[in-house]
Structure 1
């Protein structure tokens, strides 16, 4: 097949025009790869902070409504209402006494510090429903939000379960996917029971607890098995740019195959042979583009 100079120039022009989109795709992939680590940095967006604050406020509001609905614990609803919900852990167990020794105290720095310590001592930084508490042996110590202070299990019977010798009178008073509230008879005294050494040898494994380190290790192991590394928000990001290199390589391969498909038409070949070569090149192009689709994730 012999082509004139004008026809050849036309084919070359068409080839260049068709190659431009492929080059743009490669550049776009490069830009996306460079932007990914910035978008995934933890804490880089203030929107996440506002969402967490809103979630904490809603969680506290639900607890307050549950306490107000129960007359015996309504006084502590007033105490919790003046606390900062953003300081609460994501999962927690609240131990709410029926009494409130702080209603008639004067607002001084010492009383404020005492109130803060008492509230912290009544919060366990993990969700422990009553069924889980019953699995703890007597003399087990449970960590609290008050640093260096624990709660002592003094009786684990279902009918008379006590912590720091204070009965739990209203177990599972409020519970959702992250928080549980237990009503107790009176305020826990951290100056008497809480200062003991935090020894969790009798503290059984809690099936409801969340261990971020172990979870991250499992994610990293599963991702590394697939040849990548675990990024934030569960997105797999290649740490050494392997994915980006594959994208560029496959893009260049597609460009070269398509160029060969166009250039082979200038050769003086048997029409049947020319058609076979074009079909083979088209099949290779489709297969290569399929791999590109899988790697690039488009």
Structure 2
């Protein structure tokens, strides 16, 4: 144990260890997110990882890890409810024996993330679970326009709002600026989610039995292009809000926006039927170029 760690209080040591665990969760699942996160200012980096680590743990609970563990649907529902309750308790008390929940609660208390954002997130996660008791339910969960909107708000828009609260925790914005920023955060989260829905059509349909983008269970070329137009409008709204972010958050957010814009372009050019066969990606060299472009764009803002 280092001298600094030895001198820290027990709670501080545990929080630091929990945040390291959250970082390991993120690194294990997403190299792109990890790279973008490193572009955040140091005061934001750990907090954003803490948010996304809890999101990932909940995602894995509903996206097959519990199935592979042989846990029946009713127990999956109970596990998600326990995770939600533990998260609420940790935000209230400042402690959880679950390191990922503890790290999230530390960020939530620092940034003012409350039940108004946490509850919708878990509601959307619950929508991904199989019915607890209905054995003859449709094997494909179909989302109509209203269900899609509700799901995306809870699964993605509130996560954008959580990150915004992290970015603004030491900042002051006018009511009009805050409205613009919140709209941008929601639209960016929705764009990210809708891009991933298009990228994951094969896995969502075949393995998970979900149709997020069509109540019919499958999208055609016309629906594909309609979703591409929706995503581009969401990204444009998000981009308009970036200049109002703190400077040490702009590079990471701009990089993520450029990456998902490029993904959208590739999705638009891929035949709809092919999206059900493979996941569309941006090559590593192009990602590096996009991140460099983002750095140049943000640098020009600082000079002007």
- TM-score (normalised: structure 2): 0.22
Could you say which structure has the higher helix fraction?
A: 2
Q: Considering fraction of residues, name the structure with more strand.
A: 1
Normalised by the length of structure 1, the TM-score is: 0.22
